[in-house]
Structure 1
Amino acid sequence: MGTTQLRERDAEPFSLVRDDLFYRLQRRIGLIPAHGDGIKRRALVYALVAWLPLVIASWLAGTVVESAGIAEPLLGHIGIHARCLIAIPLLVLAEGLAQQMIPLFMREFRRTELIGDGQRERFEKVLVDVIRLRNRAFPWVIIVGLVSTWTAAFFLTPNRDEIEWAGANSRSLAFGAWWFLLVTRPIFSILLLASIWRLVLLGILLFRIARLPLQLVVMHPDRFAGLGFLDRLPVIYSPFILSVSAVMAGAWAHGVFYHDVAVPSLYIQMAVLLIVLVLIGLAPLLVFSPMLVRAKKKALLDYGVLLAKHGRAVDARWIAQREVPDLPMLNAPELGPVADIQALYQSVASMRPVLVNKSILLKIVAPAALPLLLLVATQWPLKSTLTKLLFTLL
């Protein structure tokens, strides 16, 4: 099947999510409507299916809050609540963001003419190849295999600390533990691995685009040679970063509140998690760095030669007072006076070889750090801190 036929067959606009195996399965069972993606519906359904039976089972067992027989109630397992009520909805929300924003980025590559007329066929082939990868069943076989293996391992040798709230030693109260191990955890794991696979697809897509001979504009005021529109790319996977950070911070918070774990003892683990999440956020943008580095090096040499020729001509005419042949560059309006041509060179010199700025870092670091900062804040003496703040303001 040819490239044109594939592009006509696949739904528009381009999507890394729509029509993959998991998406089709959700549509078949009614979670995704015939028209639209059902983002809100799925976020609510998955969250309630994962969380509500746990609460009901715990409530019937009298273990929602602390009681005489339960040292660690369900309410104290912050990681479980973060997984069900924060991470699961965020992972579904990330799909919606990807559906909305990735087609816009692909359109900008064409609209800004970064993809020249001679490269449009190659660009379309990149999209078609990624769609083929998206539609493959093999990645989902691996995901199901991993989730099944993890579920069996946790079910056969469960972590008692995670299910003690369910009364796992009592036959009448074991339902909560069963639901958590066989339903809640797999739902989260499937959505998490699905998000990871789609991030891999996004990385492959951008990597292949970065290998095309893009028509970069080294003087572009965005300082990224015309790729500045990609500064919104981290918004797509910020929900994924926030969900992972929230689940980890929730699990650590349980240890702090119920197992006397000192928050400072977690600083190294927090730092490692933060670094890993930031690197995940930067990785899709770093694929353009080799191209930007080459473009900047070449442009500095080329514009350096232009500036040297222009400078010699100006020096010969106005300093040496020599007769200078009519040079077009001295009268070219796009070059202008000496100050303007120097500004051209400075704009090239200020071009950034890495697609990173404060805005991009904020979109990545903020969701990664926020849950960790909240965990650290639990150790602050809140009353005295607020009192000092009040006296400072007054």
Structure 2
Amino acid sequence: MIDDSFSLMRGGPVYRILRWSGAIGHGRRTTVWVAFGLVALSFGPLLVMTALDGTLLPGTARVELPLLGDYALLARFLVTIPVLVLAAPLCDALLRRMLIQFSRSSMVHPAHREPFDALIARMRGMRDSSLPEFACLVLAVLPAVLHALPVGMLHGVSDWSRANGGLTPAGQWFALVSTTVYRFVQLIWVWRFLLWAWMLWRLSRMPLDLRASHPDGAGGLAFLGAAQQRFGVLAFAGGALVAGTCANHMVYLDRPLASQQHLLLGYVVVSTLFLAAPLLCMVPRLLEAKRKGLLLYSLLGHSAAHAFDRRWLVERAPDAPALLDTGDASAICDFTGVYATIRGMAVIPLSRWNLLWLASCAALPMVPLVFFALSLDELLARLGAILL
């Protein structure tokens, strides 16, 4: 069975290399140092090279788009990488508790403990396999090998990465090293997300004991919605890059915020649906549990209503106690509440608050775009006109 040492994140060749080097270890909070090291590797040399080249600071650079004015790049290396690295232990702890919930509850029948343990063991094997992370590394390096142009550069705008029709030393480091680190960190997270989705799919095919009368309104699986929220960090990371790219377009290409609203809204919707999609695999099992619950409790309700009517309307004796002196009415009310829970049971273990959390994670990095569209004085004046 799953124990407190179970982990979705702590495994694979990258983790083993970090453990071997002493960069991380049990009981040591070194995640901050890992994040700092990745930022230093990907962003530090760019600072030095552009400072020497005179393309570092806005206002003094000899190009239109200096390094510290490239909001898409700042979002990549000062927001996305640290957030993804620092969020990994928090996400891992909650996902571990969610899987422990399966093993400690009665959803897994004792007769099916062995297949459940085999599933967990197989998941551990996939997590520790070298092939997925090697594939992530190949995908991260491939654009540099194919000499693909750096993503996010603005057409027609001179920037810190190019000079005389080619890449500057900073541009070469960005294309070969910085973007490789950025892609690899993202792809490792995507791999862990896909591994979790595979886990949910396999669990949905097991004979889980789901109860339509469960008070959580999702057959006992509502906790999966809270687990899925943790992957909102992926939506936040992508939203930061989208917001940084839009900020570049607004500042250097004079594109208004209104011209990009469809891109921003589309990203929020698509990322939210993508992150929530793995929970759809539970729909058939929950539908089955709901249909079964409605049929069984409908029969029970009919029997209870029939007995109640017969006792109080048909066969009631003159000297029988008053209705309020018995618990019959209370029992009928209690049963009505249970049946209402079954009738309103969700067939997707995802509440509106779970969706709102995922959407908020995607939209939060876009809030600063308001300050690019309006000056602070103009923003305060409009808010004052609305509120006052």
Would you say 1:52 and 2:18 are equivalent positions?
Answer: no
Q: 1:275 aligns with which of 257, 269, 279?
A: 269
CA contact (8 A) 2:54 2:62 kept: no
Give me the whole-angstrom Cα distance separating, in 1, the residues matched to 2:161 and 2:221: 56
Give 1:236-255 correspondences, 5 Å limit.
236-255=230-249
Superposition deviation, residue 35 in structure 1? 5.2
Secondary structure of the 1:287 match is: helix
Superposition deviation, residue 38 in structure 1? 2.7
Change (3 A) 1:301 1:14: same
Uncovered stretches (5+) of structure 1, i.e. residues with no partner: 324-332
Superposition deviation, residue 191 in structure 1? 0.6
CA contact (8 A) 1:278 1:368 kept: yes
Q: Indicate the residue corresponding to 2:9 in structure 1.
A: 17
Give 1:143-222 correspondences, 5 Å limit.
143-153=136-146, 155=147, 157-158=149-150, 161=153, 164-166=158-160, 168-169=162-163, 174-222=168-216
Would you say 1:259 and 2:253 are equivalent positions?
Answer: yes
Give me the whole-angstrom Cα distance separating, in 2, the residues matched to 1:160 and 1:340: 60
Give 1:1-394 correspondences, 5 Å limit.
13-33=5-25, 36=28, 38-64=30-56, 65-67=58-60, 69-153=62-146, 155=147, 157-158=149-150, 161=153, 164-166=158-160, 168-169=162-163, 174-321=168-315, 337-376=331-370, 378-390=372-384
Secondary structure of the 2:162 match is: coil
Amino acid at match of 1:80: L
CA contact (8 A) 1:14 1:102 kept: no
TM superposition score normalised by structure 2:
0.88
CA contact (8 A) 2:72 2:243 kept: yes
Give me the whole-angstrom Cα distance separating, in 2, the residues matched to 1:158 and 1:239: 24
Change (3 A) 1:287 1:389: same
Structure 1 range deviating more: 239-248 or 351-360? 351-360
Amino acid at match of 2:104: R
Q: Deviations over 1:285-311 (max 9, x none)?
A: 222222111111111111001101111
Give me the whole-angstrom Cα distance separating, in 2, the residues matched to 1:391 and 1:354: 43
Secondary structure of the 1:161 match is: coil
Q: Deviations over 1:61-90 (max 9, x none)?
A: 222223362111112210111100110011
Superposition deviation, residue 36 in structure 1? 4.3
Q: Deviations over 1:336-376 (max 9, x none)?
A: 62222222211211211112223211220111111234325
CA contact (8 A) 2:7 2:96 kept: yes
Amino acid at match of 1:144: L
Superposition deviation, residue 322 in structure 1? 7.4
Give me the whole-angstrom Cα distance separating, in 2, the residues matched to 1:339 and 1:12: 42
Q: Deviations over 1:78-116 (max 9, x none)?
A: 011110011001111232123211221111112232222
Superposition deviation, residue 51 in structure 1? 1.4
Give me the whole-angstrom Cα distance separating, in 2, the residues matched to 1:152 and 1:345: 61
Amino acid at match of 2:183: S
Amino acid at match of 1:387: A
Amino acid at match of 1:32: I
Give me the whole-angstrom Cα distance separating, in 2, the residues matched to 1:291 and 1:263: 44
Superposition deviation, residue 43 in structure 1? 1.1
CA contact (8 A) 1:105 1:230 kept: yes
Change (3 A) 1:258 1:125: same
- How many residues get paired? 377
Give me the whole-angstrom Cα distance separating, in 2, the residues matched to 1:283 and 1:203: 9
Give me the whole-angstrom Cα distance separating, in 2, the residues matched to 1:12 and 1:137: 24
Give me the whole-angstrom Cα distance separating, in 2, the residues matched to 1:356 and 1:318: 42
Q: Indicate the residue corresponding to 1:327 in structure 2.
A: none
TM superposition score normalised by structure 1:
0.86
Superposition deviation, residue 157 in structure 1? 4.2
Give me the whole-angstrom Cα distance separating, in 2, the residues matched to 1:160 and 1:94: 25
Give me the whole-angstrom Cα distance separating, in 2, the residues matched to 1:391 and 1:156: 49
Give me the whole-angstrom Cα distance separating, in 2, the residues matched to 1:286 and 1:242: 22
Change (3 A) 1:170 1:116: same
Give me the whole-angstrom Cα distance separating, in 2, the residues matched to 1:281 and 1:193: 15
Let me know the Cα RMSD of the aligned residues: 2.9
